[in-house]
A and B are shown apart, each in its own frame.
Chain A
Amino acid sequence: MLTVKERGQFVATLRYVYVAIMETLSAWVPTAPEMEAKLLFGEHIWDAAQHADTLGKRTFELRMPLQKSIRPAEGYVDFLAAVAAIGPTPQRLAAMYDVLLPALAARQQRYIDSTDKLVDAPTVRILQRYLADNARMLDSARALRDELPALQLNDGPWVAALQKREAGLELVASAMPEAVAAEA
């Protein structure tokens, strides 16, 4: 069973990531030329903020300060910075909606699978709701690229390389139990 401290570390680290996603999408709004992409990012800024906010309330329940964020492992921080620095809109969309958000959903699912569903039920409920939100966000991005094919990145190797990079990274800076850390 994950300890209170371990659960708090995961939740606070995830909060850091959602704040970073909110800020990345915000930075992309004025710098992406395509109006439709701006609107997509605008909607998802609010999703990411809500996720961060709910996680920040949960940190308080796990003996941490309210709205506590913990900086992820350095490699993951570098990965977030690399995504934020991407310029062309098709690459931005691919990085966010084909790599970062799906991978984050997978990490959350692994956490749900590894934690005690009763002891840690409040965290599980929060993450399950995010998985539903995450699916909606991915659907929106897919629909946008179906409607505007110019926003679709036709560079499978680029996406695969980014996915591979993400998959090789630790999320939480301090040691997590083997069951979570090994898969993450």
Chain B
Amino acid sequence: MPATKDTKVVRGIEVRNDPAREPCFKIVHLHHDVPDEGNETIEARRMRAHREYNQEVQTLEVAALCLVDFPDAPWALRMELARQCWDEARHAELMFHHLKELGGWKGMYPIANLDWSVVAMLDSLPARLAVQHRTFEAGSLDIEVAAVPMLRDMGHDGQAELTDAIEADEIQHVRFANEWLKHLTDAQPRAVMQVAQAMAWLRKLVEATSLDALKVISTNDETRQLAGFSNAEVASVSLLDNAGIGSIPGARGPADE
């Protein structure tokens, strides 16, 4: 169980304070305050690379915090989280190189750490897996799958390959979370309640902050199946998408235009 948390209040809701950042970064508290102009111009592509760089670092920070906060978690699950730390560190390095290739630099645009602020408030590992991996990262999978052909069509082949490679790693992160969530909720019925409470709190936060997440993202069924979602779960998300309320918290990252 995590110790007392350092928190901040965003739109009336208490969330975890930001992770440490260098003074060159301007930190904002909502996704829609982070510049996003699509993919058409070089400036827009720099914004995208800068956002993804910080996003990968944030995901590394969340996985690392899980290793700190839950020392009694099953060793095999801790190994998955440790491996994820390396994956996210590599992704961040790749995105930083990409940013520099585009003429950008660290701290060029404001950043938001809302994923961290949300997930690091959760006191149980099943809740964090449900929100971070199964919701945020699964949402990113859908975005990345859609982004690869779009980037190729725009002639950004290198960026498309990079996104495709990152997506392959992310599938495993969602898959292990799905597997472990099933295992943990089977073994501890209380975990089901922890997940339900976390998702309810997340919806409240989404409503309060008007997260860009409410934008509709088409769900990629094949990728979600690779990531360990059952057919029924994929169908359920697709139905939500069709109703315009799906993929609630996943809409972060560059391609949510």
Contact = CB atoms under 8 A, between A and B. Distances in A.
Interface of A: 22-23, 25-27, 29-35, 38-43, 45-46, 48-50, 53, 56, 67
B6 to A, nearest CB: 10
B136 interface: no
Contacts, number: 83
Interface stretch (B14-22, B198-206, B210-218): B14-22
Contacts of A53: 75, 79
A161 B239 CA distance: 63
Given A26-B64, A38-B60, A45-B86, A31 B19 contact: yes
A153 B79 CA distance: 31
B20 A42 contact: no
A55 to B, nearest CB: 12
B85 A29 contact: yes
A43 B82 contact: no
* Shortest Cβ-Cβ A-B pairs, 4 listed: A42-B89, A49-B82, A46-B86, A29-B64
A42 B83 contact: no
A138 B75 CA distance: 26
Interface of B: 19-23, 53, 57, 60-61, 64-65, 67-68, 71, 75, 78-79, 82-83, 85-86, 88-90, 92-93, 96, 106, 116, 120
15 contacts: A22-B67, A30-B20, A30-B61, A30-B64, A30-B116, A33-B21, A34-B22, A35-B22, A39-B60, A40-B89, A42-B64, A42-B89, A45-B85, A49-B78, A49-B82
Given A33-B21, A49-B82, A56-B75, A39 B89 contact: yes
Most buried by B among A26, A32, A49, A67: A26
